[in-house]
Amino acid sequence: MKLERYLTVHHTIEDDQHVVRIYSPTIREDYKIGRWPVSETNTSLDAIEAGYLEAAGDMDLFRADGVAIYSSDAEALARWITESDADE
């Protein structure tokens, strides 16, 4: 898969905060960033989903073919993939 035409969502946890950075396929710097506290109601799964939806909404703007996702929380990413595959 070539990532040149993909928006990239990058989720990490830094200083007890979810950090979601979205990178465009043309500029290798984040163009959007969101931060919010880690809590029982703000999970990694929620952060990944929020990042995906934000990036998916910008696909036409960047003429992107899709959204690639990375998360430092491998378990949450695997669950997100399973749930999104079930939705299709």
Q: Please tell me the distance from the alpha carbon of residue 23 to that of residue 73, in angstroms, as a whole number.
A: 19
pTM of the model: 0.88
Q: Select from 3, 9, 2 the least CA-distant residue to 52.
A: 9
In the chain, the amino acid numbered 51 is: G
pLDDT in tens, the chain (88 residues): 555 689 999 999 999 999 999 998 887 777 899 999 999 999 999 999 999 999 999 999 989 999 999 999 999 999 999 998 877 6
Q: Please tell me the distance from the alpha carbon of residue 7 to that of residue 19, in angstroms, as a whole number.
A: 16
Domain 6-77, CATH number (from 3.30.420, 3.30.310, 3.30.300, 3.40.1710): 3.30.420
Q: What are the CA-CA distances from residue 5 to residues 45, 55, 63, 75 (Å)?
A: 24, 12, 7, 26
